[in-house]
Structure 1
């Protein structure tokens, strides 16, 4: 509902829009304090942190490292450099016998294994052998692949992460944080949806051996978890990166350094339940929406539809969606020509007059200069409006 439309000067104007009626104050209880070395809960769509403990503290990621292994290989598939149907020759370094006391998919030296099978071995079975096989195939050597992992970590803004191997076994120079791993999980879901779908698979059989996904929350019917990855070493403790949905909301929880497999699941579930109970993800405007129409001078059209560049998502305490307002500011009077996508102002989203976020307001169509007569008429109209 449009509340008012006021020209505050000859150069700019403000349009206030209310999405719904105001309601009672929203009260969000403090998040629980949970037994783990570090954890974080973020909203997938906005990246906003809802709960955190030591979220930026460098910790041992264990097999959460394999999230980056999957991401790097997935980017190579996406770029067309390799395909999931490629046959990968298993080297002696990737042989399952090299990992006697750790998770593996039981690949054998000298055999050829489809890359998709290795992906399932990596994601579902947490195979350290699959990690090395993928690394060698993608980059030619394990060390070269680790360099790619660190380059992608820098690209994704993982400021407190360093990799020294593709599998996550305890090693000097291997560390990450709950927040960095949550950011990586967000990138996997957004950038590689076909790969992310593998994280919901509960079992995989290779070489006659069936193994079950260690993420027990995939089998918990009380919460809609569809990924992501477990981790454990004696040095790291028990860790779990999880993503779940509730309606249109998706959350990512990362727990590091829990005392047991059951504890990491319990902590993750409590974090996710807290987020879904007390917060909402709202999308007041989509990229295709026309937020409003604004007057344009000297053009072949008098009205310009304007909106936002991308879908807008906001994380709000549950109940605050009823208090959301938007204020549209045009920083100048608009004069043709105007090009589609050109920034013409800003949209400020507010709750109870408290600004939350500011986004660019852009033209949704082109407007060309009008005829000489049209421009002359508009010139006189602008002159008169200035006098009035």
Structure 2
């Protein structure tokens, strides 16, 4: 088993692997990110055990029990807990392998384990059911998944009912990195594309895209990051953005007016949401809530870690003042004068502009009658028309 390839292919999962007694066997357990799990220290080859931190702690044990193994069933007994499920390839058919089945069932009875077997055979080489589960303190559903497989065993599907604690991890995909790497790999896939074998090339390209997406995906603790915009508000903002693109494309005046109104609503809703988040952060800043962690992580960027101690001031007369009350008064007077608003005169461009000097400013304006004024205006109009 190539572990490095498995880690790349299942980068969205936590990876637990236990080596076998030869290079062709081993046990692999994958757990989705967001589920709290702890690995149980187990040195037995082909035996991997984990604890799922649900409301009721659950232990999952995966085993591969081939005939020439170096351990017995009793070696697994210390790892059996009150709520436990043991899955794996037991290489024992409980109905047809009489002696082996009796030994296995006796061990299961001693550890209060109940067998759960699927209805259909799990081996492709014989009509036998050798892949199943034992549980303690839990009821499960199990069945054979009869599909195309490269193994000599059909996979089994099982469901365990339990309440998982709230997911505290989020995922984020760096799409800019994805797009940049896709541009770099474009020439490679353009040369590799083969019309004669298009199905194989297409499958490889889809696998490449899925692995690249997984590699560009990061997980992060939700309680350490800023509060995200609610899903409803984010969907509304996306709708308004799409509507604005449609308005630009169709050049519809009615649609532009609607987009303008919806943008105002979105801004008000976003402003109201941020105000509520700020008030909540201020109210919980001195508690043990995860919000206080985010609040202080942002606030500490604006606070200096330390400041120098003031022992004395020197006033305008070069006198050293050491008394605390006089130092406070001196500092208050200094900053009061420093921040005092000065009177700034801003002249008006019309009323406060300087007077213009004319050569004939001393001449008196002659008296004119209304009739002369009207005739002068009509004469100027006739000149413009002509």
Whether TM exceeds 0.5 here: the answer is: no
Structure showing the higher strand proportion among its residues:
1
TM-score normalised over the length of structure 2: 0.21
Structure showing the higher helix proportion among its residues:
2
Q: Select the structure with the greater relative contact order (CA < 8 A; seq sep ≥ 6).
A: 1
Query: Which structure has the larger Rg?
Result: 2
TM-score normalised over the length of structure 1: 0.21
